[in-house]
């Protein structure tokens, strides 16, 4: 009887919406979710087994054999595969690329898991025969030897307390035995720090989440800034740790990781790990392995931490759930908040979305009964909410972009030993350089944008494509050498503040000042010291930081976002103003917020100041309903770019023509993108709206296979963005 040759279907990291069939070598045991190395053209790729014994349309003689099976236990467990399969379908992205996005870089390269087993250290017979007198020359070796006398210790724990050099010295003397072992589940040692007394609202929120353990529930925790949302998270987590279960906390920005990690480590005697792009490949793989084995109890990470293979995931928390950074804007364009809700459903566990400024989508889900709405309406320690004052710039003299009133109030707070925070959402020294003779402005040669002047590095930098060039000596039009900065960025404001307040320390937080590893933690540590200080920065300041000594916040330029064409601009401005203002008055002193504007009468500013974000959000939702915009309709966006503008327009017109038979869709476009040209290519977009999600996705599922065969599709670069947030 002829032996049956097993066939496997493999998902590969290529931009093709199909799988590939291969022959599996005899006597190789492999499961779905395992990695294999396979030939693909003239190269070899690492893929994931997606199906065993598929009904292949090919003759076996046409199939190539697998080069190597890298493991027999899946690196992607079943529930995680279900999530990734859902994500590939929902975002209409090739499954192979989606699966690859869920693996650490070292596993994508084909490293073997067996190389990363945990190491357990014990004393050898020679080590057990030693006495303290044998270590009189080295106190460090003595301390490690005495620790090992109490029992075996894992490498992670050992290196947290002792140096690798000391370990190597005892190994060289054959006093220690190293054994490769499976990573053990964490051992809960109780609270390292007592929990705080909860307010009534906090207690209601904690009880609601705890009662939902073991079942899928979505909670929106809306709490004013300083209302103690983090304490709610901590007390929701505590009972889970006693049972040896795991928790995922997603943050929108790397900048929030250090203070959050510190807060959780101070409270719990369990392993807490970070996950973000600033970690090395080895550090990320270690976190991935510890999540999979149950060695780590809590992972605090940015959006891709959603794809970690937790062993016992029992609660997902999304902090600052409204933040745009939770949406991936390149490649696989998923929204971490939305996929986290799907993962919670698959894991049958609750999910808690926390924010002071809920997204309109989340508020809509509360109205529809999909989310349970929990509210913290007062600050946890009873502090008053900050007061607002509009500074009419038309009525003030300006000094370095600051109104006289603003400077006076800064001096008052500094004289009291308090901290002042200035928010300016433009990094660099100035948005452009201008010729004083003819008005010429420095523009990016590749984008429809000006280049930002960075004085510290003596460069003009495009913040859209990253292109840089030296400062020109002459005007590009008339040849004049009279070039001067136009507008103001954080670099320039910092320089001016040093002149105005020469004796006051100034801390600048933006992408430039925090580029070096460890720089952000050092700057935050400075801010958390009492005493007079000026804090200056961009959006990094607006997201969840606790600055207890800040009593005055000044938003230097409110007007930039008041007249945007993006329908989400009012919501984003309302969130930004509320979040930045929320940094004031979190300590013992009441806070104050100054808004510098040329338009103090603007309805949006008046609504937020007079009525607060919650009232603004309700009216904004009503406007969205009246104009049939998300969340009352579903949005997909095609964006295309090419060296020739007309190619983009023609390609999108083909889509419009193809979709004319779908009555359930409303199309807007083709339109030139607001940033018409980027990195040398022209950009166009087409908006697809539908009141029925299923109808929209059905049309896209039919369109994409057809679209990829069009000749024009090979001449333009295009992306499909489901539930698009960035319309630029």
Cα separation, 143 vs 135, in Å, equals: 9
Cα separation, 420 vs 109, in Å, equals: 48
Cα separation, 296 vs 316, in Å, equals: 15
Indicate whether 450 belongs to any domain.
no
Cα separation, 17 vs 19, in Å, equals: 7
Q: What is the pLDDT of residue 706?
A: 94
Tell me which H or E stretch contains 494: helix 490-500
Which residues span the domain enclosing 96? Answer: 7-114
- Residue 314: asked if its preceding bond is cis (omega within 30°), the reply is no
The label of the residue with tokens 């920065």 reads 537
Residue 462 annotated as binding site? yes
Indicate whether 47 belongs to any domain.
yes
Indicate whether 675 belongs to any domain.
yes
Q: What is the pLDDT of residue 2?
A: 43
Rounded alpha-carbon distances, angstroms, from residue 35 to 17, 20, 108, 288: 19, 14, 9, 16
Whether 124 contacts 175, CB under 8 Å = yes
Q: Per DSSP, what are the bridge partners of residue 49?
A: 10
Looking up residue 569, the CATH number of its domain turns out to be 3.40.50.300
Cβ neighbours of residue 507 under 8 Å, at least 6 residues apart? Answer: 523, 526, 527, 533, 534, 535, 536
Whether 410 contacts 534, CB under 8 Å = yes
User: Could you say which DSSP state residue 614 is in?
Assistant: H
Cα separation, 233 vs 264, in Å, equals: 10
Residue 544: other Cβ atoms inside 10 A? 23
Tell me: do 643 and 596 sit in the same domain: no
Cβ neighbours of residue 346 under 8 Å, at least 6 residues apart? Answer: 79, 82, 83
Tell me which H or E stretch contains 99: helix 95-101
Backbone angles phi and psi of 595, in degrees to 5: -110, 110
End-to-end CA distance of the chain, in Å?
64
Cα separation, 380 vs 406, in Å, equals: 29
Tell me: do 329 and 265 sit in the same domain: yes
Helix H, strand E, coil C: the string for 38-90 is: EEECCEEEEEEEEEECCCCCCCHHHCCECCEECCCCCCCCHHHHHHHHHHHHH
Query: At what angle are helices 336-347 and 78-90 packed, to 10 degrees?
Result: 140
Cα separation, 83 vs 340, in Å, equals: 9
Number of domains in the chain: 5
3-class DSSP state of 298: strand
Tell me: do 241 and 123 sit in the same domain: no
Indicate whether 438 belongs to any domain.
no
Whether 326 contacts 252, CB under 8 Å = yes
Residue 648 annotated as binding site? no
Indicate whether 270 belongs to any domain.
yes
Indicate whether 191 belongs to any domain.
no
Which of 81, 96, 114 is a domain's end point? Answer: 114
Q: What is the pLDDT of residue 364?
A: 97
Whether 122 contacts 152, CB under 8 Å = yes
Contacts for 449-452: CB closer than 8 Å, 24+ residues apart:
449/675, 449/678, 452/426, 452/427, 452/428, 452/489
Tell me: do 606 and 650 sit in the same domain: no
User: Could you say which DSSP state residue 117 is in?
Assistant: -
Tell me: do 620 and 694 sit in the same domain: no
Tell me: do 511 and 409 sit in the same domain: yes
Tell me which H or E stretch contains 552: strand 550-555
Tell me: do 163 and 225 sit in the same domain: no
Which of 335, 355, 376 is a domain's end point? Answer: 376
Q: What is the pLDDT of residue 3?
A: 46
Tell me: do 105 and 126 sit in the same domain: no
User: Could you say which DSSP state residue 3 is in?
Assistant: P
Helix H, strand E, coil C: the string for 183-249 is: CCCCCCCCECCCCCCCCHHHHHHHHHHHHCCCCCCEEEEEECCCCCHHHHHHHHHHHHHHCCCEEEE
Residue 130 annotated as binding site? no
Residue 444 annotated as binding site? yes
Cβ neighbours of residue 185 under 8 Å, at least 6 residues apart? Answer: 244, 293, 294, 295, 311
Handedness of CA 653, 657, 662, 667 (dihedral sign): positive
Which of 567, 602, 624 is a domain's end point? Answer: 624
Closest CA relative to residue 557, chosen from 575, 572, 577? 577
Tell me: do 414 and 552 sit in the same domain: yes
Residue 478 annotated as binding site? yes
Cα separation, 309 vs 289, in Å, equals: 8
Whether 102 contacts 84, CB under 8 Å = yes
Cα separation, 324 vs 321, in Å, equals: 9
Indicate whether 24 belongs to any domain.
yes
Whether 613 contacts 621, CB under 8 Å = no
Residue 34 annotated as binding site? no
User: Which token pair is 330?
Assistant: 């390149």
Cβ neighbours of residue 610 under 8 Å, at least 6 residues apart? Answer: none
User: Which token pair is 182?
Assistant: 């499976």
Q: What is the pLDDT of residue 398?
A: 85
Residue 673 annotated as binding site? no
Tell me: do 227 and 360 sit in the same domain: yes
Tell me: do 211 and 152 sit in the same domain: no
Cα separation, 292 vs 76, in Å, equals: 10
Residue 16: other Cβ atoms inside 10 A? 12
Residue 563: other Cβ atoms inside 10 A? 9
Cα separation, 446 vs 435, in Å, equals: 20
Looking up residue 648, the CATH number of its domain turns out to be 3.30.70.600
pLDDT along the chain (728 residues), means of 10: 70 92 86 94 94 87 91 93 97 95 94 83 91 88 90 80 89 89 83 92 96 96 91 96 96 86 93 91 92 94 96 96 94 96 98 96 97 92 84 87 92 93 84 83 85 83 85 85 82 88 89 78 84 88 80 87 81 89 82 90 89 92 94 96 95 95 89 89 95 95 94 94 92
Closest CA relative to residue 330, chosen from 91, 671, 534? 91
Handedness of CA 471, 472, 477, 481 (dihedral sign): positive
Residue 475 annotated as binding site? yes
Q: Per DSSP, what are the bridge partners of residue 69?
A: 36
Q: Per DSSP, what are the bridge partners of residue 594?
A: 389, 554
Cα separation, 63 vs 56, in Å, equals: 10
Tell me: do 246 and 358 sit in the same domain: yes
3-class DSSP state of 432: strand
Indicate whether 441 belongs to any domain.
no
């Amino acid at each position: 009887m002829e032996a049956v040759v097993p066939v496997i279907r493999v998902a590969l990291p290529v931009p093709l919406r199909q799988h590939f069939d291969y022959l599996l070598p005899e006597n190789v045991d492999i499961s779905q979710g395992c990695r294999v190395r396979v030939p693909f053209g003239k190269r070899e790729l690492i893929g994931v087994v997606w199906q065993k014994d598929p009904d292949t349309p090919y003759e076996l003689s046409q199939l190539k054999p697998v080069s190597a099976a890298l493991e027999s236990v899946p690196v992607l467990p079943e529930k995680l595969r279900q999530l990734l399969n859902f994500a590939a379908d929902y975002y209409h992205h090739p499954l192979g690329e989606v699966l690859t996005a869920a693996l650490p870089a070292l596993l994508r390269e084909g490293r073997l898991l067996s190389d990363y087993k945990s190491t357990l250290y014990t004393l050898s017979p020679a080590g057990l025969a030693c006495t303290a007198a044998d270590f009189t020359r080295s106190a460090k070796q003595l301390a490690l030897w005495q620790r090992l006398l109490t029992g075996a210790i894992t490498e992670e724990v050992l290196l947290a307390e002792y140096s690798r050099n000391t370990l190597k010295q005892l190994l060289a003397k054959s006093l220690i035995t190293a054994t490769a072992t499976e990573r053990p589940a964490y051992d809960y040692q109780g609270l390292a720090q007592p929990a705080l007394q909860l307010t009534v609202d906090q207690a209601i929120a904690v009880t609601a989440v705890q009662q939902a353990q073991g079942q899928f529930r979505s909670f929106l925790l809306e709490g004013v800034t300083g209302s103690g949302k983090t304490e709610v998270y901590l007390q929701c987590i505590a009972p889970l740790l006693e049972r040896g279960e795991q928790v995922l906390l997603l943050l929108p920005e790397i900048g929030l990781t250090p203070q959050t990690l510190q807060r959780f480590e101070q409270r719990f005697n369990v392993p807490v790990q970070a996950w973000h792009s600033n970690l090395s490949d080895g550090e990320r793989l270690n976190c991935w392995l510890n999540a999979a084995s149950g060695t780590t109890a809590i992972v605090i990470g940015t959006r891709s931490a959603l794809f970690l293979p937790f062993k016992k995931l029992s609660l997902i928390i999304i902090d600052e759930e409204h933040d745009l950074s939770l949406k991936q804007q390149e490649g696989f364009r998923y929204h971490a908040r939305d996929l986290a809700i799907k993962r919670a459903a698959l894991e049958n566990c609750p999910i808690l979305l926390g924010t002071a400024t809920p997204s309109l989508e989340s508020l809509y889900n509360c109205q529809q009964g999909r989310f349970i709405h929990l509210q913290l309406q007062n600050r946890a320690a009873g502090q008053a909410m900050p007061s607002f004052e509009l500074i009419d710039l038309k009525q003030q003299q300006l000094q370095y972009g600051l109104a006289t009133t603003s400077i006076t109030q800064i001096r008052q707070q500094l004289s009291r030993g308090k901290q002042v925070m200035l928010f300016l959402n433009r990094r660099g020294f100035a948005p452009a350089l201008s010729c004083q003779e003819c008005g010429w402005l420095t523009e990016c040669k590749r984008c429809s944008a000006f280049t930002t002047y960075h004085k510290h590095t003596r460069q003009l930098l495009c913040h859209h494509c990253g292109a840089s060039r030296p400062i020109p000596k002459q005007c590009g039009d008339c040849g004049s050498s009279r070039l001067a900065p136009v507008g103001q960025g954080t670099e320039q404001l910092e320089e001016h503040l040093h002149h105005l307040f020469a004796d006051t320390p100034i801390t600048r937080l933006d992408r430039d000042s925090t580029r070096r590893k460890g720089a952000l933690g050092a700057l935050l540590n400075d801010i958390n010291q009492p005493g007079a200080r000026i804090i200056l920065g961009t959006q990094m300041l607006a997201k969840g930081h606790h600055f207890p000594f800040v009593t005055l916040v000044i938003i230097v330029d409110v007007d930039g976002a008041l007249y945007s064409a993006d329908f989400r601009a009012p919501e984003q401005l309302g969130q930004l103003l509320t979040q930045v203002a929320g940094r004031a008055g979190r300590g013992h002193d009441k806070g104050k917020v100054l808004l510098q504007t040329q338009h103090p009468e603007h309805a949006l500013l008046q609504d937020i100041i007079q009525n607060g974000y919650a009232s603004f959000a309700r009216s904004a939702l009503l406007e969205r309903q009246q104009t049939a915009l998300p969340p009352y309709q579903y949005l997909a966006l095609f964006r295309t770019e090419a060296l020739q503008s007309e190619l983009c327009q023609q390609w999108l017109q083909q889509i419009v023509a193809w979709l004319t038979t779908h009555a359930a869709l409303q199309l807007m476009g083709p339109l030139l993108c607001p940033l018409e040209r980027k990195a040398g290519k022209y950009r166009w977009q087409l908006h697809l709206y539908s009141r029925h999600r299923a109808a929209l996705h059905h049309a896209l599922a039919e369109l994409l296979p057809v679209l990829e065969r069009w000749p024009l599709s090979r001449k333009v670069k295009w992306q499909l963005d489901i539930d698009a947030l960035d319309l630029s």
